Amino acid sequence: MRLLTLSILLLELTTAEAGQRVTVPLDGTWQIEDSVAADEIPNVWRHKVPVPGLANLAQPTFADVDLFDSRELIDNQIRAKTRPESARISEVGKPRQKRNYFWYRRAFGPPARNQVAILKISKAQFGTSVWLNGRQVGEHFGCFTAGYFNVTGAMNWENDNDLIVRVGAHPKVLPLSVPTGTDLEKLKWTPGIYDRVALLLSDNPVIETVQIAPAIDPTSITVHTVLRNYGKAVITELAHTITEWRSGTAQESKTTRNVVLESEETKVITDYIKMPDARLWSPEDPFLYVLKTATGGDSIETRFGIREFRFDTPTKRAYLNGKPYFLRGSNISLHRFFEDPLCRHQPWEEAWVRKLLIDVPKRMHWNTLRFAIGPVPEFWFDITDEAGLLIQNEYFIWTGEPREIRSDRWNEWTIEQLLTDFKEYLRDHWNHPSQAIWDASNETHSDVLRDRIIPEVRTLDLSNRPWDNGYNLPSGPHDPVEDHPYLFFRVYNGGEFNMTELETTTGAKSPYLPHPTAHPVIINEYGWLWLNRDGSPTQLTTKIYDKLLGPNATSDQRFELNAYLLAGLTEYWRAHRNAAGVLHFVYLTSSYKSGYTSDHFRDVEKLELQPAFEEWVGEAFKPLGVYINFWQDTLKRGTHRDVAVMMVNDYANDVAGNLSLAFVGEDGEEASRVERPFAIPALGAHTYAFVLQVPRHAGRYILNATATAADELARPKPTISRRKVRIQ
């Protein structure tokens, strides 16, 4: 070893300027075929499919491409009635198709010769195996994380290359030890290469990963660079340079060092780079930088933002860049949207995704989204970084009840495979400033996740982001817990609920959070009021709308009531300030008659929201929030009524202005009105008491509370809270 080290020192130093990575995109139209056997590579290719995308986009189409009965639906009474023969599925589930695999194929021309060639398949399900030029080069079990394949030995540097990728046609092709996604309400399980594919070419030493951990006091970054040398021993220069992303303006901060790597050695290098006067990233100002990391054989650019995000148990608040920050937003369940007949190729169309993640959330006054029960393509996070959205990124586990726990397994899943998947899940996202909260599961009970998986993998994240974990007790002292106060579930379950109950309650932790905790709470689901896009109730809400409106109600009546109640619940949870975040469920999911939930799009292809939802719920999410603590259906005419109006200020500065309370008749005229000035400190809240005369004439009225900030140019339009009431 000593002689080897001495020989290394005699080598010529390779400078960072010499290395340049070449990325060859392999997205586009691929060939696709299916098979029953795992070794049945097709001889004839008749179908084509987009990559990234799903196998159900193939032309000509394949029959029954995504039919699979999940084990997780065994005990669901609704599903058991519609398909009783599947009510006792064993193991992972039961396929309803004759195939087990899909085979993808494409050719690419000979690139310039490099020492190392790595194929990256950013996400594919269910399981990935790769052949290049007839040689099998590797497999990757993970369904939600990137797979990397060293294809150097199989590359043809002189002629075209033939690439074949096999994916499972359904979850059952994978070993029981592998998590393939669990969702109690998902009906279709669609395979495919659903994220980007690229060939990464470089010389030694190769940069395997870069992790950037920003700090705000002082403004700086810590950089972990993992170098891998596939060739002979080498001394290389490792250099980091920083530029502003949009302008390209170079920063003065730069580090350079020499690194010795022996043959086949992997080494982790840590650098600390000061960034004095750096601009902080936030939803209000999503400012981005680029770090270029280079060796003598490779280079990579990593975009990042300077920001810190955490929760604090004593105050039960979220903190962004050292200051309290209230989360407002909704959920996207992309893997459920994959089931939707109108999904098609839209999740991979950049213009559609930008409208989904930038334009509509801004109109709705959202600063946070939860990617619920399943991952999204990589470029979605690139967009949320630019949009300034905080993301709660949820791993694809929703089991509901506890599973059998053994020393090496959680039910069939092995601890080893869970750790592998979660480590890759962190690696794929840890440089995105929008990645704010790791989320291990949804509504799940698991000591394994809490006590083994999260403690082991959270140390890999140098930013030490917080972890949510379903219905488990928190793993860390400042981790948040999720609460799903579905008040109308009581009606679905045969009980009673009336919005008048909100007048005498304080928005405390609900009984649906099944353990005591003083940790910060995120309400990231509430309502139980879903309607299909045509206005019909879903399977979970028919009882509710029949009770509230009667079975003969029109779609417009249901849409109006849905928006009215969701807006009121949003105002209520925000006004009482018992939650660090309020996230409605659900912004995007599937919508069809046999579904359980639905979203609020009138036209999902054009991303046009249902008008009543946008009007009422968008108002309820404004940073300057207003809530009338009043839910009576009727009032006696000519009397006086005490009314409390609660206000919250999510802005980082004081807001003052005028607050009015008025009864407005069906003709648009005010029947009575009172007003007073308001002043709410930054991030504060206050309640104002009014005595208002009830109109003397019977009829239908709207009780309006309107808050108008004095500095109107710096605010959205006045915030309005409304209640419908009949005067008798």
pLDDT tens for residues 233-270? 999 999 999 999 999 999 877 889 999 999 999 999 99
Compute the distance between CA of residue 591 and CA of residue 604 in angstroms, rounded to an integer. 10
Q: Cα separation of 50 and 346, whole Å?
A: 12
| Cα 192 from Cα 104, distance rounded (Å) | 9
> Taking residues 429-444, what's their average pLDDT?
96
Q: What is the pLDDT of residues 289-310, one digit of tens each?
A: 999 999 999 999 999 999 999 9
pLDDT confidence of residue 79? 47
Task: Report the C-alpha gap between 460 and 455 in whole angstroms.
Answer: 10
- Report yes or no: 385 and 305 within 8 Å, Cβ to Cβ: yes
Closest CA to 440 of 487, 472, 415, 410: 472
As a whole number of angstroms, the distance between CA 312 and CA 367 comes to: 19
Beta strand 147-150 with 116-121: parallel, antiparallel or unpaired? antiparallel
Q: What does pLDDT average to over the chain?
A: 92
> What pLDDT score was predicted for residue 94?
81
pLDDT at 8 (0 to 100): 39
**What number of other Cβ atoms are within 10 A of residue 281's Cβ?**
25
Asked if pLDDT for residue 423 goes beyond 60, the answer is yes
Among 27-36, 493-502, 504-513, whose mean pLDDT is lowest?
504-513
Residue 617: enclosing H or E segment and its boundaries?
helix 611-620
What is the average pLDDT across 698-718? 87
The predicted pLDDT at position 594 comes to 83
Q: Please state the length of the chain.
A: 728
Please list, in sequence order, all residues whose beta carbon lies within 8 angstroms of the beta carbon of residue 511, skipping any fewer than 6 positions away. none
The pTM score is 0.94
Q: Give the separation between CA 34 and CA 190, rounded to whole angstroms.
A: 14
Separation in Å, CA 553 to CA 499, 537, 562, 584: 20, 11, 13, 25
CA–CA dist 285, 273 (Å, integer)? 22
How many Cα atoms within 13 Å fall on the side-chain side of residue 720?
A: 13
| Sign of the alpha-carbon torsion through 500, 501, 505, 511 | negative
Cα-based distances in Å from 109 to 26, 114, 160, 278, 589? 11, 14, 4, 43, 39
**Cβ atoms 474, 480 nearer than 8 A:** yes
Whether the predicted pLDDT of 83 surpasses 70: no
Phi first, then psi: what are they for 575, rounded to 5°?
Answer: -65, -35
For tokens 């009606």, the residue is 491
Q: Decide: 600 and 567 in contact? Cβ < 8 Å.
A: no
Q: Tell me if the bond preceding 205 is cis, omega within 30° of 0.
A: yes
Cβ atoms < 10 Å from Cβ of 712: 11
Query: Residue 330: pLDDT above 70?
Result: yes
Averaged pLDDT, 81-100: 64
Q: Residue 193: which pLDDT band, with cuts at 50, 70 and 90? A: very high
Residues 6+ apart with CB under 8 A from 576: 506, 507, 508, 646
Question: Strands 135-140 and 128-132, how do they pair?
Answer: antiparallel
Q: Which segment of 90-99, 204-213, 219-228, 617-626 scores lowest on mean pLDDT?
A: 90-99
Percentage of the chain with pLDDT > 90? 84
| Pick from 71, 463, 84, 512: nearest CA to 304 | 463
pLDDT of residue 96: 87
Phi-psi region of 93 (alpha: psi -120 to 50; beta: other; left: phi over 0): left
Span 609-628, mean pLDDT?
A: 98
Weakest mean pLDDT among 262-271, 590-599, 682-691, 712-721: 712-721
pLDDT at position 587, please?
Answer: 98
Beta bridge partners of 207: 227
Q: Which of 306, 304, 303, 302 is nearest to 294 (CA)?
A: 302
Q: What is the dihedral of CA 590, 595, 597, 600, to 10 degrees?
A: 50
pLDDT in tens, 573-592: 999 999 999 999 999 999 98
DSSP E strands, 245-394: 250-261, 266-274, 289-294, 299-304, 309-312, 317-320, 323-325, 327-332, 368-371, 390-394
Contacts of 210 (CB under 8 A, 6+ apart): 223, 224, 225, 226, 291, 293, 300, 302, 431
CA triple 441-445-450, angle to 5 deg: 70
What is the three-class DSSP state of 7? helix
pLDDT band at residue 625, thresholds of 50, 70 and 90?
A: very high
Q: What is the DSSP letter of 483?
A: E
Closest CA relative to residue 298, chosen from 13, 18, 26, 23? 18
Q: At residue 160, does pLDDT exceed 90? A: yes
Q: What confidence tier does 75 reach under pLDDT thresholds 50, 70, 90? A: very low
Average pLDDT of the segment spanning 102-130: 96
* Least-confidence region, from 64-68, 73-77, 470-474, 642-646: 73-77
Mean pLDDT of all residues in 165-173: 96
**3-state class (DSSP) for residue 16:** helix
- pLDDT value of residue 131: 98
pLDDT over 70 (residue 222): yes
pLDDT at residue 73 tops 60: no
Read off the tokens for 585. 């469920």
Confidence of residue 91 (pLDDT cuts 50, 70, 90): low
**pLDDT (average), residues 342-358:** 98
- Residue 577, helix vs strand vs coil: coil
| pLDDT for the residue 401 | 60
SS (H, E, C) 220-270: EEEEEEEEECCCCCEEEEEEEEEEECCCCCEEEEEEEEEEEECCCCEEEEE
CB 271 within 8 A of CB 255: yes
